[in-house]
Amino acid sequence: MGPVRARFAPSPTGYLHIGGVRTALFNWLLVKRHGGQFILRIDDTDSERNKPEALQPILDGFRWLGIHWDEGPEVGGPVGPYFQSQRLEGYKEAAYRLVREGKAYPCLLSPDELKAEREAAEKSKRPYIHRGPGRTLAPDEAMKRVLENKLPVRLKVPEGKKIVLEDLIRGRVEWDADLLGDPVILRGDGRALYNFATVVDDAAMRITHVVRAAEHLSNTAVQLVAFEALGAALPRFAHVPVVNEPNSKKKLSKRDMAKFVTPDIKAKLMSLGHTAEQIAARDDLNPATVAFYKELGYLPEGLVNYLGRLGWSLDDHSEIIPIDQMTSNFSLERVNDSPASFDPDKLYWVAGEYMKSLPVEKKLEGCIPFLKRAGVWGENESPARLEQLRRVIVAAGDRLKLFSDILQYGLPILASQVTIDEKSFAKRVTKEGVPGHLAAFVEKMAALPDFETGTLEEALKAHATEKGFNPALLIHALRVSTTGIEVGAGVYDILSILGKDEAIQRIRVALAKAGQA
RNA sequence: GGCCCUGUCGUCUAGUGGCCUAGGACACAGCCCUUUCAAGGCUGCGACACGGGUUCGAAUCCCGUCAGGGUCACCA
C-alpha cells in the first residue's frame, strides 16, 4: 500500500468523545502503518452549535493521547483551510459546476409540495424516491434558475444502475440506484449539506482512505454518486463498527454514562475539588469523554492501547500492545464487523498494566499534581519530603494503577492529620488487650536503633512471641492507628516511611482515643 | 415501513470447512501465597441467536427466521 492520507473530521462540540477517538485512532494507526498524513478537518459548518472555544478540548485530548495530526488546526498544511466553515465557497462552486455539467439541478418544488409528495408515498406504502421536475432542465436554464431564484440544488442519481462499494471492513456492499432519491447538496441559501461538503473536501484534500463510523455506511451510496459526478478519484472506504455502552447494544453516549461514575470515582473526583453538581454536569467529568480519564490520572498509553484493542486484534492472545507494535501491525482487515461495548473494568486493568512498568520518577511526576489538588502537597516541598513520597509510591507498588490512586495510598501517610475510619478502628484497635499491646510495643519502638523495615519486623515478631500473641493482632492495630484505614502498603513500609517520631506520635494519639472510647 | 449493516462466554476477542468435547483476556467465584489491600499462581463458571440445507465433516459456505443497529432531512 502506498502513502495514506486519512482524515478525522470532528465537530467542535467542546469535548472529545471516546468513540470518536477510537475512530480517529484507527485512521492514525493506518497512516503510521503505511506512511502518509493524518489530517484533522474541523466540521464547523453548523454555526449555531459550534463555538470557537469548543475546539480546544478536542485538540488537547488528541495531544494528550499522543495522536498528532500532520495537517489541520494549528499546524496548517498544503490543502487548507482545515475548517469547513472557511471552505463554503468551494462547495458552492462545486455544486454550480455540477449544474452546469447537467449532473445536478435546481429543486423546483416548494417545501410544502415536497412534503405532500412524501406523505402521498407513505400513504400508498411506496418508498419515497425523489426525482424532481428540474432534472430535465437544460444545464444553462438550470443554472439560471438556481442563481435567480436561490433554489436548492439536487444531485442527479443515475438511473438503472447499481452502486457498489468495496468496503475494506465490510466487503462488498451494493445499492440499487433507483431506490435512492436525488439528494439536496446545496441549500437555497448556498450552504452545502454534509454529504456533499465531505465529498468535496475528501477529493480536494486527496484523501485516500475514509475510515469512519459505521453509521455513515448508508450515506456512502450518495457520496459515491457525488464522487462520480465530480469526476474525483475515489478513496477507499472502511466503516468501523460503533462503540457501545458497557454491557449494552446502545451506542456510547454522553447522556447515559453518568451511571458509570461509581461512588468510589465520585469520591475521588470530589477530593480533587469537584462538586457533585459539576460531576453530574460537566463534559470533562463524563466517562464518555477522554478528559474524564485524564482527570482520573489514567496513563494515555493505556487508553490508547485499550481503544486500539476495542474492535481490533493483533492475534489470539495479545492484550498489552505497545504503540510501536500497534502501528507496525495495524490492519483494517483485522477490525471487527460488529459493534463493541466499552468496558471500563478492562480499561482500568490495561491502565494498571502500563502503570506497573512506569519508572518511579515518572510516577512521582504524575502523582504530584493530584496531591497538590488534594491539598497535601505544596509548590516547594523539601528533598526529604520528596524522598518520602518516592518511598510511598514504591511501597504502594502495583496498587497504584492510576495517578489518582495516590489519593488512596498516599494521603493517609502524607496528610498531617490522620482520618480515622471508625469501623476499622473499633475492629482493630479498640479491642480487648490490643491497646495494652500497642502501648507496650511503642516503648520498644522508641528504643529501636533504626526504623528500617527489617528492624521493625524483627522487633514486632520478637515482641509478639515474647508476649505470646499473634503478630497479626499488632500489625492491624499499627496500621489503623497510623493511617486510619485497613488497606494499603505493608505496615513496616508505612512505619518506616513515617519515621520514628511521627509514627510514635500517631500511635499515642490513637491510644488516647482508644482510652476514651 | 424500504434499503443497508451486524449477530462466538456478562464484556473484548481468536477462529476464513477437519488442529474446536471452541482458545486467550477482563470481570466474577474458590483455593494458594500473605499482616490488610493489590500483585502473582492454580482451579472453576461461562458462548458459536434459531431453523433448514450443502458436505464424509460446519462456528466457518448457502437460504430463511429472529434479534440488534444504521439510514431514508434544505442535521452532522
DSSP for A392-422, written as a single string:
HHHHHGGG--SGGGHHHHTHHHHSSS----H
Q: Helix, strand or coil for residue A437?
A: helix
Residue appearing with cell numbers 475510619: A421
Nucleotide lying nearest to A122, CA to C1' measure: B1
Q: Are A156 and A226 in contact (CB under 8 A)?
A: no
Report which residue type is found at A321: I
Catalogue the active-site residues of A: 254
The 10 Å Cβ neighbour count of residue A177 is 17
Nucleotide lying nearest to A320, CA to C1' measure: B25
Nucleotide lying nearest to A194, CA to C1' measure: B76
What's residue A124's pLDDT?
84
Residues 6+ apart with CB under 8 A from A400: A355, A363, A367, A393, A406, A409
What's residue A53's pLDDT?
85
CA of A304 to C1' of B3 (A): 36
* Angle ∠(A9,A280,A367) on CA atoms, nearest 5: 80
Nucleotide lying nearest to A471, CA to C1' measure: B35
CA of A129 to C1' of B72 (A): 9
- Helical ranges in A260-382 per DSSP H: 263-271, 276-281, 290-295, 300-309, 323-329, 344-356, 360-373
Q: How many CA atoms lie within 13 A of A73 on its CB side?
A: 25
Neighbour-count burial of A190, counting CB atoms closer than 10 A to its CB (0-12 exposed, 13-18 middle, 19+ buried): middle
Is the Cα dihedral A325, A331, A332, A334 positive or negative? negative
What's residue A47's pLDDT?
63
The 10 Å Cβ neighbour count of residue A74 is 11
What's residue A517's pLDDT?
46
Residue appearing with cell numbers 492520507: A5
Helix axes of A18-34 and A300-309: crossing angle, nearest 10 degrees: 80
The Cα A404–Cα A102 span in angstroms is: 62
What's residue A416's pLDDT?
86
What's residue A52's pLDDT?
74
The Cα A127–Cα A179 span in angstroms is: 8
Residue appearing with cell numbers 473536501: A201
Residue appearing with cell numbers 460503533: A242
Q: Give kind and range of the element (H or E) at residue A153.
A: strand A153-155
> Which ipTM did the prediction report?
0.96
Protein-covered nucleotides on strand B (Cβ within 7 A) = 1-8, 10-16, 23-27, 35-39, 68-76
What's residue A513's pLDDT?
86
Per-position DSSP letters for A16-33, written without gaps between them: -BHHHHHHHHHHHHHHHH
What's residue A276's pLDDT?
94
What's residue A1's pLDDT?
76
User: Distance between alpha carbon A25 and the CA centroid of its chain, in Å?
Assistant: 11
What's residue A46's pLDDT?
76
What's residue A45's pLDDT?
86
The three cell numbers of residue A137 are 432542465
The three cell numbers of residue A229 are 459526478
The Cα A484–Cα A339 span in angstroms is: 45
The Cα A131–Cα A455 span in angstroms is: 89
What's residue A49's pLDDT?
64
What's residue A514's pLDDT?
81
Is the Cα dihedral A420, A425, A426, A427 positive or negative? positive
The 10 Å Cβ neighbour count of residue A155 is 27
CA of A244 to C1' of B64 (A): 29
Predicted model pTM? 0.95
Cis amide bond preceding A127, omega within 30: no
CA of A331 to C1' of B55 (A): 33
CA of A224 to C1' of B47 (A): 39
CA distances from A385 to A211, A368, A378 (A): 50, 12, 10
Burial A387-409 (b: 16+ CB within 10 A, else e): ebbbbbbebbeebbbbbbbbbbb
The 10 Å Cβ neighbour count of residue A260 is 15
The Cα A58–Cα A283 span in angstroms is: 12
CA distances from A251 to A9, A19, A66, A239 (A): 19, 9, 25, 15
Q: What does the pLDDT profile of chain A (517 residues) look like in tens digits?
A: 789 999 999 999 999 999 999 999 999 999 999 999 999 999 998 766 667 789 999 999 999 999 999 999 999 999 989 999 999 999 999 999 999 999 999 999 999 999 999 888 888 888 889 999 999 999 999 999 999 999 999 999 999 999 999 999 999 999 999 999 999 999 999 999 999 999 999 999 999 999 999 999 999 999 999 999 999 999 999 999 999 999 888 899 988 888 899 999 999 999 999 999 999 999 999 999 999 999 999 999 999 999 999 999 999 999 999 999 999 999 999 999 999 999 999 999 999 999 999 999 999 999 999 999 999 999 999 999 999 999 999 999 999 999 999 999 999 999 888 899 989 998 888 888 888 999 999 999 999 999 999 999 999 999 999 888 889 999 999 999 999 999 999 999 999 999 999 999 999 999 988 875 4
End-to-end CA distance of chain A: 75
What's residue A155's pLDDT?
97
